[in-house]
Chains A and B, each alone.
Chain A
């Protein structure tokens, strides 16, 4: 047989095609982060999704501006949703009705519980007390591993809820003997108005206020909130903007600004990082994160490395090995952070609080119980060093 030029080109291209078909995907095997999946899963404004009229549990929103053609722009979080009449925000809580921005999440929490403060987690805030915890629906992120996706990714109208307007919420918290109200579970920033009004009343009644959040909030809105905040736990989901976009549908920088604002305003806060295997367990990233914390916030804000377990849509990954969390903790301690914990691992030695000066165990934790407490007036009983936090009983 004589192979002419046409045939030669045909067979060559087929050979090349075959190799590429099989070979190219092989190149990605084992290193899928390079080119894997969508780069950004941020939520979108839901056009025309608003109800026709307001309902009982709505109020005019705070921190927004009116634009031309009856459009509005929400200024509470960095999504800065611009809504035309009839539109709904990314977080699903805000709607534009005839040129006015309303929140639909006001006085209608769908989850209400009395939780141990350690569950938030807050380890340096009034140990072994109960906090009245509530949440409406909504979130400005789209985390693939959300543990509360049933409410964070739902609209206020789509769930069962309690009627607890701010005054009633404060009454309920007081009636249960809670020392504080925690705005938690879904994303508190999306029910900002409800949180702020409740927090003001709570403070007037002698209750404290805790923000448990992803920290994705604009500075002006946060500054207002800081006036009534006593403590916070803010998620630092990764020290990488790319991973924030990929896994959470957010961006890193605004969260870092939140930490700086809280630090400047003197609000007690703790930081939580969920260590997702393959994404958030990189040593260099952990090191860079700890260096940033030390540099911008100092060594005293407690940092929790928590164990990932497969959840929601991110359910095809293994859980985080305990040794990975221990390695992260080592990196953080070496970087100079004083209080670094391991979370979601029952009875781990790094659940306890150790005085950063003398190294003695000052708060011994057995889950949510405190069998050993060696602080006096917020200082180590053994060496007298002040341990940062809110230790009042």
Chain B
């Protein structure tokens, strides 16, 4: 090898590519294995970043002048890292059903423990390798190698990995194939690193061979890892939006989205309720909009002979599976549209006699947008005179528990701002029937008069939906409640409460422990590291905020969301390059960076408040790029203040990662659901003001 430092640099880039791809794939696995709510998404990112931070700190501990970092160790560890991604994925997928009961969902603490333990080896090693690569370079190859350069190279790898996954692998590769494809360059570069001068690195090649075997085995056995507990795996596809699996048991097909059964061919009751409760209110429903659907509902819908049915489903792979397995049957007048339901409704010019929303519970920011004041207003604007709008929430059998009561009350009051009548119907799902006219509750009689046949409603409605049960439910939701809005998603926190209530746990001990650990860390760290911590916090917080706001305004557009994520990483690169050249005026530059971040966020909030829907998509990309630019810019500056030695490198890397971890968690599950978008922005600005004050203190600790 002519230039070993170039080889190590390539290794750092390859590590970035492999690790970001592995991270994104792990997030998808987590969503399929556990509850896919915002809490779990934040937990994965938090765990990943926190373990990375710990790994970074550990690199400092294991390296000393007596025990210098070695190129051969770096090569070996990098090879194992490439293989570990496959092992992690297999373990994540398979051990779940060994540790937990197959078919059962899992509460907060078991989820936290499982995620924390399964991703620990990989994310720890990723965090470890970054500073270790620098120590190798400085120790035996190029003393004085700039730490900021490693940061830039790592970011280059991260951007490439994110883009590779979001725009290539997600379309063409299964998860095992993706981690293998993203990991192969890393393995190749690591295996090709120069070895001991006296002999060829046979051991490393052996390790590479073994890792390759593990990779091949992973890809070959991928489908086996998805075998269901009952029935046969009839269909499996990883779409851009998640995992779609169809399990065939005898005559019944069940479609699972991210591990949760969402459609089956035999749920007659749900199909009838979803369709007939709203449509029977109308004399002749002619134009109908379905935002997502339920198994068998088109068959029920056809009984009304509508002229036009627009069926909007975000994921084309979903409708493809639905029609292929008879979960939905084509009917005359059906128009399929694969796009975000809210974006469709905002763009469409026609009005509908009925709009039926059949979405899962609003436990993510993406779904919450369909249950807000603004969305209900949009629906009203698109309903014809006398039209009907319906949606549903999870039901209860005999007792409405407090969190669910608050949730229903919030939805009731939000809908009641736009519709004169909001009638709730109890059952396995609770249906909201909203319109400006009255709602007739004698469904069986109305169906009979119209000559529409039904199985469930005809036989069971009178017993299950007694006047007493309907009255009880509608009285209980009159509880005072503030509306759920786009930028103040209050419903999300009730969803979290419900989730915790189901498992009889509380997140308070976790957050208390986290607060103590962070306080201890922040009190012991340097000022420059604190600035980086707050920047990491703010960058991740801003990224979540931007994605949240973007979805509200433009809908869930996969390509553009992927672009925002990529831009947030891409901005780091030029930022770090600039920062490395301005390190001579470190303190002033660091303060200027903080000031710039504050200005960015103030500008973002102001623009959102004043222009809202009129903002172009490019605005979000520019904002993301700017925030990332400043974040990247501050890193080399802080490193320069810290002195740039080995210990400082670990400390600054760790501060950035731990800040990002805390920012992800706190913004997603505390700030946005509890304080709304603008107060979240204010909190992030507040954090940066503290950081500015810290930088402003005359003597920055070296």
Residues of B within 8 A of A313 (CB): 104-105, 502-503
Residues 369-400 of chain B, each 1 if its beta carbon lies under 8 Å from chain A, else 0 = 00000000000000000000000000011111
Q: Which residues of B201-221 have CB atoms within 8 Å of chain A's CB atoms?
A: 201-203, 206-207, 210-211, 213-214, 217-218, 221
On whether the beta carbons of A1 and B266 are closer than 8 Å, the reply is: no
B252 at the interface (CB under 8 A from A): yes
Among candidates B102, B221, B251, B401, residue contacting A323 with C-beta atoms closer than 8 Å: B251
Those of A111-157 within 8 Å (CB) of chain B: 111, 113-116, 118-119, 135, 144, 147-151, 153-154
Q: Which residues of B contact A32 (CB under 8 A)?
A: 97-98, 102, 229
The answer to whether B399 and A111 have CB atoms under 8 Å apart is yes
Q: State A322–B266 Cα separation when bound (angstroms).
A: 8
Question: Is the CB–CB distance between A33 and B252 below 8 Å?
Answer: no
Indicate the size class of the contact surface on chain B. 35 or more
**B-facing residues in A85-125 (Cβ within 8 Å):** 110-111, 113-116, 118-119
C-alpha gap A44/B667 in the complex (Å)? 36
Decide if A113 touches B459 in the complex (CB within 8 Å): no
Determine if B514 is an interface residue (Cβ-Cβ < 8 Å). no
The answer to whether A147 and B230 touch across the interface, beta carbons within 8 angstroms, is: no
Q: How far is the CA of A322 from the CA of B256 in the complex (A)?
A: 19
Once bound together, how far apart are the Cα atoms of A281 and B231, in whole Å? 11
Please tell me if the beta carbons of A347 and B261 are within 8 angstroms of each other in the complex: no
* CB pair A25 B94 closer than 8 Å: yes
Q: Which of A176-201 contact B (CB under 8 A)?
A: 185
Measured between beta carbons, the chain A residues less than 8 angstroms from B95 are 25
B355–chain A nearest beta-carbon distance, Å: 26
What separation, in Å, do the CA atoms of A319 and B399 have in the docked complex?
23
A318 touching B261 by the CB < 8 A rule? Answer: yes
Cross-chain contact B462 with A368 (CB below 8 angstroms): yes
A3, B207: Cα distance in complex, Å: 13
Q: Which of A26, A321, A322, A366 contacts B458 (CB 8 A)?
A: A366
**Which residues 309-326 of A have a CB within 8 angstroms of B?**
309-310, 312-319, 321-324
Q: Of the 9-residue stretches A35-43, A266-274, A373-381, which lies at the interface with chain B?
A: A35-43
List residues of chain B with CB within 8 A of the CB of A111.
398-399
Complex contact B229–A151 (CB within 8 A) = no
Most buried by B among A28, A32, A309: A32
Q: With a CB–CB cut-off of 8 A, which chain B residues contact A315?
A: 104-105, 260-261
With the chains together, A32 CA to B103 CA distance in Å?
10
With A35-B98, A37-B100, A315-B260 given, is the CB distance from A26 to B224 under 8 Å? yes
Question: Using a CB-CB cutoff of 8 Å, which residues 348-393 of chain A contact chain B?
Answer: 365-369
Residue from A35, A154, A346 with most neighbouring chain B CB atoms (10 Å): A346
- Judge whether B224 and A318 touch: CB under 8 Å: no
Query: Quick one: given A26-B94, A319-B264, are A150 and B396 in contact (CB under 8 Å)?
Result: yes
Complex CA gap A314/B502 in Å reads 12
B264 touches A159 (CB 8 A): no
Determine the chain B residues whose CB is within 8 A of the CB of A159 once the complex forms: 399, 401
CA A26 to CA B225, docked complex, whole Å: 7
A277 touches B99 (CB 8 A): no
Whether A113 contacts B91 by the Cβ 8 Å rule is no
A345 to B463, CA, bound (A): 15
Most buried by A among B93, B230, B404: B230
Decide: B399 and A110 in contact? CB cutoff 8 A. Answer: yes
Q: Does B101 contact A (CB under 8 A)?
A: yes
Q: Select the residue from B100, B213, B460, B504 with max chain A CB neighbours within 10 A.
A: B460
Partner of A321, one of B214, B249, B468: B249
Counting CB contacts under 8 A, is B439 at the interface?
no
User: How long is the Cα–Cα vector from A135 to B56 in the complex, in angstroms?
Assistant: 56
Residues of A within 8 A of B252 (CB): 318-319, 321-323
Chain A interfacial positions (CB closer than 8 Å to B):
1, 3, 7, 11, 14-15, 18-19, 21-23, 25-26, 28-30, 32-33, 35-38, 110-111, 113-116, 118-119, 135, 144, 147-151, 153-154, 159, 185, 246-247, 277-279, 281, 309-310, 312-319, 321-324, 345-347, 365-369
Given contacts A322-B251, A367-B458, 19 further A-B contacts (CB under 8 A): A11-B207, A22-B214, A26-B224, A29-B227, A35-B98, A38-B101, A149-B502, A150-B401, A159-B399, A185-B397, A281-B230, A309-B267, A316-B261, A318-B231, A318-B254, A319-B254, A322-B266, A345-B266, A367-B461
Q: Give 19 A-B contacts (CB < 8 Å), ordered by A residue.
A: A3-B202, A15-B210, A25-B90, A25-B98, A26-B90, A33-B102, A37-B101, A115-B463, A118-B463, A153-B504, A278-B103, A278-B228, A279-B103, A310-B261, A315-B104, A318-B256, A321-B266, A323-B252, A369-B459
